[in-house]
């Protein structure tokens, strides 16, 4: 049986899977018309009037054949010898991105791609309701040159642990402080300057001042700091710039 084992020497989780005979491939199980082969539909976007598990879908989600992680497994956590072991309870799903076998990201039209991304969201929302699922990964493999074309799909893997690498990244994340965008227009008005005069006086391109005021762009961190200094002591900034120009 498949299982997750923690390697005590490196402290990392590994997937353990006994070798098994691979079944010969015949025909694409993911093309329209072969719905029964691909397995019971988990979710799908369909044209009006088409039935589940039949053609007429635009994006379809099916369980991965020979899945490593399965929702039917009972979640068991135990120590086996020197290993921590967990049963691979989770989910492995394939999001079939298009009914067309030969579609790639390059040939798919934008609406199709948008539907695929909505399906990513739908699956994440649905799987997150399961309290025993700790992490969800979505992966997409590019077709390598020379490899037999396969139906375009993304793989969703929902797992009962958080991989060490992810845990490390989460631990190292720093809280982000969201600063409100400074109100450039009111600062400028307070100084009784036109956009042009403000731009010239403080050495900021006029187009940038306009973009800031109309909300097309927001000042980046150095610009925000500069604007704060201008707001607190406009005279000092002007003097400093004048001295620099002399
Ligand atoms: Zn196909």
Q: What CATH fold (topology level) applies to the domain 3-17+28-172?
A: HIT family, subunit A (3.30.428)
| Cβ atoms 68, 127 nearer than 8 A | no
User: How far, in Å, from the CA of 17 to the mean position of ligand 1?
Assistant: 27
Q: Is residue 79 predicted with pLDDT exceeding 80? A: yes
Q: Which architecture does CATH list for 184-245?
A: Orthogonal Bundle (1.10)
User: How far, in Å, from the CA of 92 to the mean position of ligand 1?
Assistant: 19
Q: For the segment 87-101, what is each residue's pLDDT rounded down to a tens digit?
A: 888 899 999 999 999
Domain 3-17+28-172 shares a fold with domain 184-245: no
Query: Of how many residues is the chain composed?
Result: 246
Q: Mean pLDDT throughout 218-235?
A: 91
| Strand 91-96 versus strand 153-159 pairing type | antiparallel
Q: Mean pLDDT throughout 73-85?
A: 83
User: How far, in Å, from the CA of 151 to the mean position of ligand 1?
Assistant: 4
d(C-alpha 68, C-alpha 157), whole Å: 9
Q: For the segment 104-136, what is each residue's pLDDT rounded down to a tens digit?
A: 888 899 999 999 999 999 999 999 999 889 889
- Residue ranges of domains in the chain: 3-17+28-172, 184-245
User: How far, in Å, from the CA of 146 to the mean position of ligand 1?
Assistant: 17
Give the per-residue pLDDT at 24: 43
User: How far, in Å, from the CA of 99 to the mean position of ligand 1?
Assistant: 7
User: How far, in Å, from the CA of 156 to the mean position of ligand 1?
Assistant: 18
Widest CA span of the chain, in angstroms? Answer: 81
User: How far, in Å, from the CA of 127 to the mean position of ligand 1?
Assistant: 26
| Cβ atoms 71, 132 nearer than 8 A | no
C-beta neighbour count of 102 within 10 angstroms: 10
User: How far, in Å, from the CA of 150 to the mean position of ligand 1?
Assistant: 6
Helices in the chain by DSSP H: which ranges?
35-38, 110-128, 164-172, 184-190, 195-202, 206-213, 221-232, 234-245
pTM over 0.85: no
Tokens of 60: 């379809």
d(C-alpha 76, C-alpha 53), whole Å: 33
User: How far, in Å, from the CA of 128 to the mean position of ligand 1?
Assistant: 29
Torsion sign, CA atoms 62, 68, 70, 72: positive
Q: Which of 175, 190, 182, 5 is nearest to 82 (CA)?
A: 5
| Cβ atoms 94, 30 nearer than 8 A | yes
């Amino acid at each position: 049986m498949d299982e997750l084992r923690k390697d005590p020497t490196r402290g990392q989780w590994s997937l353990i899977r006994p070798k098994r005979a691979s079944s010969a491939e015949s025909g694409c199980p993911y093309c329209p018309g072969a719905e029964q082969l691909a397995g019971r539909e988990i979710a799908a976007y369909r044209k009006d009037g088409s039935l589940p598990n039949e053609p007429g879908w635009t994006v379809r989600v099916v369980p991965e054949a020979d899945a490593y992680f399965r929702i039917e497994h009972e979640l068991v956590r135990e120590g086996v010898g020197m290993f921590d072991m967990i049963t691979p309870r989770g989910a492995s799903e394939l999001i079939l991105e298009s009914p067309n076998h030969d579609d790639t990201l390059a040939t798919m039209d934008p609406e199709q791609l948008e539907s695929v991304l909505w399906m990513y969201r739908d699956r994440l929302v649905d799987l997150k309701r399961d309290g025993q699922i700790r992490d969800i990964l979505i992966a997409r493999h590019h077709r390598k040159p020379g490899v037999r074309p396969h139906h375009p799909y993304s793989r969703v893997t929902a797992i009962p642990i958080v991989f060490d690498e992810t845990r490390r990244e989460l631990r190292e994340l720093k809280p982000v402080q969201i600063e409100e965008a400074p109100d450039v227009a009111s600062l400028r008005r307070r100084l009784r300057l036109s956009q042009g005069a403000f731009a010239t006086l403080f050495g900021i391109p006029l187009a940038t001042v306009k973009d800031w005021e109309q909300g097309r762009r927001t000042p980046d961190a150095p610009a925000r700091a500069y604007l704060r200094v201008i707001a607190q002591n406009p005279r000092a900034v002007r003097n400093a710039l004048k001295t620099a120009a002399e």
